[in-house]
Structure 1
Amino acid sequence: MKVLVTGAAGQVGCRLVRQLLYRNYQVRGTILPDDPCRERLAGLDLELVEGDLIDPFYVRQAVEGVEAVIHTANIVGDQFHNNVESNRLVALACGEQADVLDRYIYVSSSGVFPNNGESIACAYHPVDELHPKRPTGNYNISKMVGELYAESVERETGLRTVIVRPSHAISGTTILSQFTVARVCGILKIGQNKPGSELYMADGTELWHQVEAAAESSDQPCSARDLEGRPWYYQPNDARDVARCLVSALEEPGAIGESFNVGAPS
């Protein structure tokens, strides 16, 4: 089977390419011209096609001739137009090939629920696939729009679709910087300014002062717990594990038509 991986040089994409090649898939990957992460793919036996996923002609060419598409590409940050347009064009191009594609796998985000308790509280824990979708911020909203396009094309064309929603994907030693005194205090400050958050203190208590007073430095590791001693929910993913989940979404017959939340054990 020949598989298209969009964003092949990305943090998840490059690891997905390796896992697919190891399992003897043929791989075509999209990559931006002059992508600074291209070297992640050095020495790998795949077909690379350069271009921009907001170019409809390029997207159609990339999709043509493959049997499955895994759409990992999106720009993290405030690139709303690029993300929405690329999600739309990839879904539409896959819909045009619905009769020959085994499946289209759209990589969304846990941010559609949301996944940041300092901004808005979840309706319940743990967050499952049926949790109400209430994204905040341009990136998370663009991911939600991508889901809607995938589902719309699925209804109109019969495209076999799978939606995968990873939580925060990290790699290497990045995890070590996720909970420092500075980061925890920053999260607490955001929460105190948002009455709808899980960290809001109605009495105005500024909890970060307690953390700062107890710390030796701002970059000191900090294990965050609430006032009752319960640890904060944080379920990051190793990028290799996200890639493995995408391989499962490609290979499992029962995945078609479903959506899956992906996170580390709580």
Structure 2
Amino acid sequence: MKILLTGCSGQVGYELERSLQGLGQVVAVDRSRMDLSNLDQVRDVIRAEKPQLIVNPAAYTAVDKAESEPELAYRINAEAPGLMAAEAKALGAALVHYSTDYVFPGDDPAPRVEGDATGPINVYGASKLAGEQAIAASGVPHLIFRTSWVYGMRGKNFLLTMLRLAKERDELRIVADQHGAPTWSRTIADTTALVLAQAGQGGADWWREHGGIYHLSSQGQTTWFDFTRAILEQAGIDCKLVPITTADYPVPARRPQYSVLSSQRLMDRFCTLPQWQEALRLCMK
């Protein structure tokens, strides 16, 4: 199987390039070869490579900046995935795509399941939801994995930012009233590979039976404040943490107050997912 992997220099794409080895021939491309804001380039690469599977972790993820760049966010997060889906269908290929907890409004303190009503409250979430809808509308065999609070040891993410700031400052003020599940980029990649290993054995019937949307995030829940405390404890860094509210830290894009995802559907069908504390320990180790 020939697998076209986008965004291979990103934190999830980097891990996927490793995790997907053994499932087929992985053709990994980054923005220099396949810039998702250039739809003609996206189409040309797919037609040149003729993959049997496209795995697309590439995305516009600058949540606050998206408020002032909605056209670019929609082109990368909605139009490009829709184009990938159409091209994959024309090739008889399948598509794996990644979405976000931000497709939900976060106003209900209960873990979200796949069929719950969406209602994004910022441009980023709306653009990711539009990408989901474009893929579903294409009719291509697909998997969409919604994940949350992604971190890792490369790229730009909350964990690396906190490690840097804690070494530079004596005190950090961290939001303590937003709830979610931090998810290691390697957990996402390894779970994807486990699911695709099953798909490869099942053929077209497998995609008809198992395709669609799944939530893929670590188990349990926490706040940004408690996540930071766990990070610094693991790193052995002594820095004073001060809990603050969302209102105390104004940013351009609104954030969901509660964006915990229930991954039970994925775990019932495929594999277990780790508690967020255990995944953090392994990541930092």
Which one of the candidate residues 78, 89, 114 is aligned to 2:80? 89
Deviation at 1:8, TM superposition (A): 1.1
Deviation at 1:109, TM superposition (A): 0.6
Which one of the candidate residues 176, 186, 205 is aligned to 1:240? 186
Deviation at 1:249, TM superposition (A): 4.1
Are positions 1:56 and 2:10 aligned together?
A: no
**CA 1:176–1:31: 2 relative to 1, 3 Å:** closer
CA RMSD of aligned residues (A): 2.9
CA displacement, residues 109-132 of structure 1 (integer Å, 9 cap, x when unaligned): 111014xxxxx412x512111221
Check conservation: 2:10, 2:58, Cα contact below 8 A.
Answer: yes
CA displacement, residues 86-124 of structure 1 (integer Å, 9 cap, x when unaligned): 33234224323415344111211111014xxxxx412x5
- TM score, norm. by length of structure 2: 0.60
Aligned AA (2:30): I
Check conservation: 1:9, 1:31, Cα contact below 8 A.
Answer: yes
In structure 2, distance between residues paired with 1:24 and 1:238: 21
Check conservation: 1:6, 1:73, Cα contact below 8 A.
Answer: yes
Which one of the candidate residues 142, 145, 150 is aligned to 1:161? 142
- TM score, norm. by length of structure 1: 0.64
Structure with more helix by fraction: 2
Check conservation: 2:132, 2:144, Cα contact below 8 A.
Answer: yes
**CA 1:4–1:176: 2 relative to 1, 3 Å:** closer
Q: How does 1:57-206 map to 2 (within 5 A)?
A: 57-64=40-47, 65-77=50-62, 78=66, 79-86=69-76, 87-114=78-105, 120-122=106-108, 124-154=109-139, 159-172=140-153, 174-175=158-159
**Percent of pairs with identical residues:** 23
- Which position in structure 2 is the counterpart of 1:200? none
Which one of the candidate residues 218, 221, 236 is aligned to 1:264? 218
Aligned AA (2:133): L
**CA 1:263–1:24: 2 relative to 1, 3 Å:** closer
**Which stretch of structure 1 is more off in the superposition, 163-172 or 245-254?**
245-254
- Which position in structure 2 is the counterpart of 1:18? 18
Instruction: Please tell me whether Structure 1 or Structure 2 has the larger radius of gyration of its CA atoms.
Output: 1
Check conservation: 1:17, 1:27, Cα contact below 8 A.
Answer: yes
Check conservation: 1:105, 1:249, Cα contact below 8 A.
Answer: no
- Which position in structure 2 is the counterpart of 1:2? 2
Aligned AA (2:28): G
Check conservation: 1:59, 1:90, Cα contact below 8 A.
Answer: no
CA displacement, residues 164-192 of structure 1 (integer Å, 9 cap, x when unaligned): 1011110139548669xx9xxxxxxxxxx
**CA 1:262–1:149: 2 relative to 1, 3 Å:** same
**CA 1:97–1:126: 2 relative to 1, 3 Å:** closer
Check conservation: 1:15, 1:240, Cα contact below 8 A.
Answer: yes
In structure 2, distance between residues paired with 1:101 and 1:247: 20
